[in-house]
């Protein structure tokens, strides 16, 4: 891994209003943290859509949670944010070598050889806000060249009050590099390792040029922002019976599922909870005994098998998929970078 020098220092600014709105200016999907398909809190790598929290070490208390702005209290006038992200370690871990929140933007060609500006609003919730640093990583994918990290010499110093910070980077050229499979540009927010630090974050924007302009979504509307997130992960939850499948053993059924938009690739992860079926007598079968397995994928359509633990199907008969039999049921298809 090589490092390229940052072209300017961390800069704090007022943020300004949100007009004029420019769809597509911001490369960060879900930069206002409004989409939370996986739930509103957790300690796994993925909680809020399009963001991943990576850390090592042991012990401590890790937090990722959705926080709600009181009406009128969003950090910039003219854009009434709904939620913000709270993340970090409320008690120190030990043996840490990294403590990073990141988002991955598809294709390492993005912004290659260009000047870009990263801006965000942040504040300290717990601990110290010193040396809150950012990196931009060019990852050339599987079979590609070694990653290149562009990083500053020093990070921002956050306070307990919301403020906007910006940083200008010159992204290295990719001339002479080999681009492999699933390449990406990664934006990292780094917390100091082995400390009790929790940060509040909102309004993240990465845009071309050397000036931080007013925040906007990466798409033209909140509905399109959700669809942009669902290119990488989509979750179906309980409330009604889902499309008809067919039973091909007494304990296994196959189901077709239309997706709201084209998934980036065939699902690499299928997560689930409380998945049931109904047999031809309309009796409940299940729950599922293992994660559903994808059999076929074609962009916005997936076919998958589910094996169940109790009850019995009649081979060749139809069945329904149920996510709500015991409450909190869901199935999610992930194609994250």
pLDDT tens, position by position, 280-308: 888 888 889 899 999 999 999 999 999 99
Q: How wide is the angle at C-alpha 38 spanned by C-alphas 191 and 300, nearest 5°?
A: 120
49 shares its domain with 188 = yes
Of 229, 247, 282, which one is at a domain's C-terminal end?
229
Pairing type for strands 148-151 and 2-5 reads parallel
Tally the C-alpha atoms within 13 A of residue 174's C-alpha that lie toward its C-beta. 22
What are the structure tokens assigned to 37, written together? Answer: 């398909």
What are the structure tokens assigned to 288, written together? Answer: 């599922």
139 shares its domain with 222 = yes
- Decide if 152 contacts 10 (C-beta within 8 A): yes
Q: What percentage of the chain exceeds 90 in pLDDT?
A: 74
Question: Mapping DSSP to helix (H, G, I), strand (E, B) and coil, where does residue 41 land?
Answer: strand
Q: What is the mean pLDDT of the chain?
A: 89
pLDDT digits (tens, 9 = 90+) for 28-55: 999 999 999 999 999 999 999 999 999 9
- Decide if 289 contacts 311 (C-beta within 8 A): no
- Decide if 107 contacts 183 (C-beta within 8 A): yes
260 shares its domain with 158 = no
171 shares its domain with 49 = yes
176 shares its domain with 93 = yes
Distances in whole angstroms, Cα of residue 148 to Cα of each of 22, 117, 166, 177, 208:
29, 18, 21, 10, 19
248 shares its domain with 330 = yes
CATH code of the domain in which 15 resides? 2.60.120.260
179 shares its domain with 54 = yes
- Decide if 116 contacts 207 (C-beta within 8 A): yes
36 shares its domain with 143 = yes
Give the pLDDT mean for 147-163: 88
Burial (CB count within 10 angstroms: exposed 0-12, middle 13-18, buried 19+), residue 24: exposed
pLDDT band at 128 (very low <50, low <70, confident <90, very high): confident
What is the model's pTM?
0.91
63 shares its domain with 202 = yes
- Decide if 12 contacts 119 (C-beta within 8 A): no
23: enclosing H helix or E strand: none
Range of the domain at 71: 2-229
Distance CA 117, CA 166 (A): 7
Residue written as token pair 């007013």? 214
Q: Kindly report whether the peptide bond that precedes residue 128 is cis, defined as omega within 30 degrees of 0.
A: no
What are the structure tokens assigned to 334, written together? Answer: 């992930």
């Amino acid at each position: 891994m090589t490092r390229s020098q940052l072209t300017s220092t961390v800069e704090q600014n007022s943020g300004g209003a949100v007009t004029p709105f420019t769809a597509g200016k911001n490369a960060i999907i879900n930069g206002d943290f409004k989409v939370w398909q996986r739930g509103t809190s957790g300690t796994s790598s993925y909680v809020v859509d399009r963001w991943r929290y990576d850390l090592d070490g042991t012990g401590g208390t890790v937090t990722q949670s959705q926080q709600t702005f009181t009406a009128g209290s969003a950090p910039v006038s003219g854009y009434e944010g709904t939620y913000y992200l709270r993340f970090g370690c409320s008690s120190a871990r030990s043996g840490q070598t990294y403590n990073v929140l990141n988002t991955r933007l598809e294709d390492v060609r993005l912004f290659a050889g260009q000047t870009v500006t990263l801006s965000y609003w942040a504040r300290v919730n717990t601990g110290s806000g010193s040396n809150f640093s950012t990196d931009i990583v060019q990852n050339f994918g599987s079979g590609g060249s070694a990653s290149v990290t562009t990083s500053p010499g020093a990070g921002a110093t956050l306070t307990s009050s919301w403020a906007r910070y910006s940083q200008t980077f010159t992204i290295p050229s990719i001339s002479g590099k080999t681009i492999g499979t699933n390449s990406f540009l990664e934006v990292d927010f780094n917390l100091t390792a082995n400390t009790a630090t929790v940060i509040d974050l909102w309004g993240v924007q990465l845009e071309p040029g050397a000036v931080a302009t007013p925040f906007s979504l990466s798409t033209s509307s909140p509905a399109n922002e959700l669809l942009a997130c669902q290119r990488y992960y989509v979750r179906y939850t309980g409330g009604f019976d889902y499309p008809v499948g067919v039973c091909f053993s007494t304990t296994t059924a196959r189901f077709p599922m239309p997706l709201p938009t084209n998934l980036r690739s065939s699902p690499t992860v299928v997560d689930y909870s409380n998945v049931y079926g109904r047999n031809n007598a309309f009796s409940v079968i299940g729950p599922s005994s293992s994660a559903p397995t994808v059999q076929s994928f074609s962009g916005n359509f997936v076919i998958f098998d589910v094996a169940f633990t109790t009850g019995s199907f009649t081979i060749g008969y139809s069945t329904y998929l149920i996510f709500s039999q015991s409450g909190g049921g869901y199935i999610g298809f992930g194609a994250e970078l």
